Amino acid sequence: MSEGSTVLAPNAAAGDTQTARILIIDDEVAIRESLETLLVLEGYSVGTAPDGIKGLDELERQPYDLVLLDLALPGENGIDLLPRILDRRPELPVIMITAYGTVTNVVDAIRAGARNFVQKPWENEKLLADIRAAIAQHRTEEENVQLKRALKQRYTFENIVGKSESMLRILDLVAQVAPSRFTVLIQGETGTGKDVIAKAIHANSPRRDKPFVPINTGALPTELLESQLFGHVKGAFTSAHAAQKGLFEIANGGTLFLDEIGTMGLETQAKILRVLQDRRFRPLGSVQEVQVDVRILAATNSNLRQSVREGRFREDLYYRLNVVTIDLPPLRSRREDIPLLAIHFLERFSEENQLETRRLAPEVMRAMMDYEWPGNVRELEHVIARGVALSPTPVIPLDVLPGELTGRSYSASMLEHDANASLFDILEDIERRIIIDKLERCNWNQTEAAEQFRIPLSTLNQKIKRLNIEIRKKQKE
């Protein structure tokens, strides 16, 4: 086949709905031909070039989706050519082809922005898998840009990413209920985006220029919570040295977001119900009622209906809150959102750290697609933040990922122990690892970890002390 020609194959490349176009730049005819045959048989359109100059020409002529670039080219070598390719097409995935034993050059190439490399002689299956992964990632990046543009045109959903049917349905629902005054109950596991959705509802409502006031109703003791919500007059209780406005008043005209409502005490529930019904309330210690116009959004990661059945949540309040319910699905049941979210966070953290955009090695993306994500989007966000921080190269390698993602999970390593260790020591070691793992998943929030373990917080704290577990600071959310 002649240089620069493209072969249009009848079948789409394996797994792809669109035929991708690949450019091979290599000076050895035999290599070009064997790669071309391999790729054409897979259904790709292929172009070839024997050197950098012809390669760049070819890139101008056709919209390629990927380049296979030989490292050792005559004249200008692959490493020098790479920046010139990326200048023209910054997002184009380039996979380097290298001879055995050119490790330092490979590192240079990855630093210069190559996605990956293959060593001669290559294994066809691995090469094809890497090509598929790089093209898929490239398409997701482009899709991400388009999606953001499309979403922006429809509503101001800043920073919400998703293309799964369930997320698109949720965004439609958000757009539909946002302009109204309806109370919305947002349910979902931890880290699924309940805060994000609450903010989007407010931002797309006529109240957007008025305050959005979030309060974590589960974190405060009753008296403190009530004085925060309803305010108090001077002297209402011993430490009330001055009058204080409550959040209901501060949120007047805007939105009050009652987060973690499932753990709110029954007394406070009764008072909230009253505000919802009458739109008025009495600050602590006051004889006068205050009238407010506040839209209520509520969120919970527990099953409120269950709490109603168990008498821990008022049924009448439940029905008041539950005018519209948004159920956020866990990330593991909308896996098509994983690549989009990953790329969204890669872009964000790279930008925040003033780095050129980081990418994921294909095996990292594969590991992410296979993982269960018990901490949902927040966990994914933290994994990417950590990857960007720890990766020595612009392409994030597998070994900077936490063990549970890469299959180096504690379940496998659990059985490995020093032959002389006592059963007691082994059990302690296992307990320590399980607790650390849980704390990591809960972002070092001990209350949440204790809840998930279904043990009292005090028991967890005792264990943390006894097992000498060093508490890392709760990460910023």
Report which residue's Cβ sits closest to ligand ATP. Answer: 193
Residues whose CB is less than 8 angstroms from the CB of residue 176 and which lie 6 or more positions away in sequence, other chains included = none
362 binds, among ligand ATP, Mg ion, none (CB under 5 to 8 A by kind): none
**Part of the chain binding ligand ATP (CB under 6 A), chosen from 13-21, 155-163, 245-253, 397-405:** 155-163
Q: Smaller CB distance to ligand ATP: residue 108 or 195?
A: 195
Binding-site member from 20, 151, 160, 436 for ligand ATP (CB under 6 A): 160
Closer residue to ligand ATP (CB): 66 or 449:
449
Whose Cβ is closer to ligand ATP: residue 162's or residue 246's?
162
CA atoms within 13 A on the CB side of 439: 20
423-441 vs 446-453: helix axis angle to the nearest 10?
Answer: 120
Angle, to 10 degrees, between the axis of helix 29-41 and the axis of helix 124-154? 60
Asked if 201 is part of the footprint of ligand ATP (rule: CB under 6 A), the reply reads: no
Residue 473 in 3-state DSSP?
coil
Q: Does 377 bind ligand ATP (CB under 6 A)?
A: yes
Which of 47/191 has CB closer to Mg ion? 191
Interface stretch with Mg ion, choices 136-144, 193-201, 207-215, 432-440 (CB under 5 A)? 193-201
Stretch that binds ligand ATP, among 44-52, 67-75, 160-168, 227-235 (CB under 6 A): 160-168
Q: Of 190, 204, 217, 307, which lies in the binding site for ligand ATP, with binding defined by CB under 6 A?
A: 190
Secondary structure (3-state) at 359: strand
Tokens of 295: 């839209």
With contact defined as beta carbons under 8 Å apart, do 211 and 304 qualify? no
Partner from Mg ion, ligand ATP, none contacting 191, C-beta within 5 to 8 A by type? ligand ATP
Binding of Mg ion by 429 (CB under 5 A) = no
Residue 127, number of CB atoms within 10 A of its CB: 19
Q: Does 301 bind ligand ATP (CB under 6 A)?
A: yes
Neighbour tally for 138: CB within 10 Å: 18
C-beta closer to Mg ion: residue 331 or 396: 331
Cα–Cα distance measured from residue 38 to residue 55, given in angstroms and rounded to the nearest whole number: 20
Q: Which stretch binds Mg ion (CB under 5 A): 41-49, 187-195, 207-215, 435-443?
A: 187-195
| Choice between 141 and 381, CB closer to ligand ATP | 381
Tokens of 130: 């890497």
Q: Does 302 bind Mg ion (CB under 5 A)?
A: no
Q: Which of 28, 51, 76, 195 binds Mg ion (CB under 5 A)?
A: 195
For residue 191, report the phi and psi dihedrals to the nearest 5 degrees: 80, 10
Instruction: Please identify which residue in the block is written with the tokens 């969204």.
Output: 344
SS3 324: strand
Does 36 interact with ligand ATP (rule: CB under 6 A)? no
CA atoms lying within 13 Å on the CB side of residue 105: 20
Select from 96-104, 156-164, 176-184, 285-293 the region that touches ligand ATP (CB under 6 A). 156-164
Closer residue to Mg ion (CB): 195 or 429: 195
Question: 188 is in the binding site of which of ligand ATP, Mg ion, none (Cβ under 5 to 8 A by kind)?
Answer: ligand ATP
- Decide: is 143 part of the binding site for Mg ion (CB under 5 A): no
Q: Is 9 among the residues that bind ligand ATP (CB under 6 A)?
A: no
Report how many residues bind ligand ATP under the rule CB under 6 A: 19
Q: Which does 378 bind (CB under 5 to 8 A by kind): Mg ion, ligand ATP, none?
A: ligand ATP
Cα atoms in the Cβ-side hemisphere of radius 13 Å centred on 91: 16
Rounded distance, CA 129 to CA 141, Å?
Answer: 18
How near is the Cβ of 463 to ligand ATP at its closest, in Å?
A: 23
If binding is defined by CB under 5 A, does position 431 make contact with Mg ion?
no
Q: How many residues can be counted in the chain? A: 477
DSSP assignment string, 64-111: -SEEEEESS-SSS-HHHHHHHHHHH-TT--EEEEE-TT-HHHHHHHHH
Residue 284 touching ligand ATP (CB under 6 A): no
Tell which one of 47, 55, 78, 162 touches ligand ATP (CB under 6 A).
Answer: 162
- Strand segments, DSSP code E, in 315-452 are 324-328, 359-360, 395-396
According to the binding rule CB under 6 A, does residue 325 interact with ligand ATP? no
Q: Please identify, using beta-carbon distances, which residue of 314 and 441 lies nearer to ligand ATP.
A: 441
- Burial label for 226, CB within 10 Å (0-12, 13-18, 19+), is buried
Minimum distance, C-beta of residue 30 to ligand ATP, in the bound complex (Å): 47
DSSP E strands: which ranges in 272-383? 280-281, 290-291, 295-300, 324-328, 359-360
Cβ neighbors of 32 (< 8 A, separation 6 or more) are 24, 26, 48, 50
What would the two tokens of residue 143 be?
């899709």
68 vs 306: CA distance, rounded Å: 57
Which of residues 92 and 184 has its CB atom nearest to Mg ion in the complex? 184
- Told to check if 441 binds ligand ATP by CB under 6 A, we report no
- Please give the residue ranges that form the binding site for Mg ion (CB under 5 A): 194-195
The residues of the shown chain that bind ligand ATP, judged by CB under 6 A, are 159-162, 188, 190-196, 301, 341, 344, 377-378, 381, 477
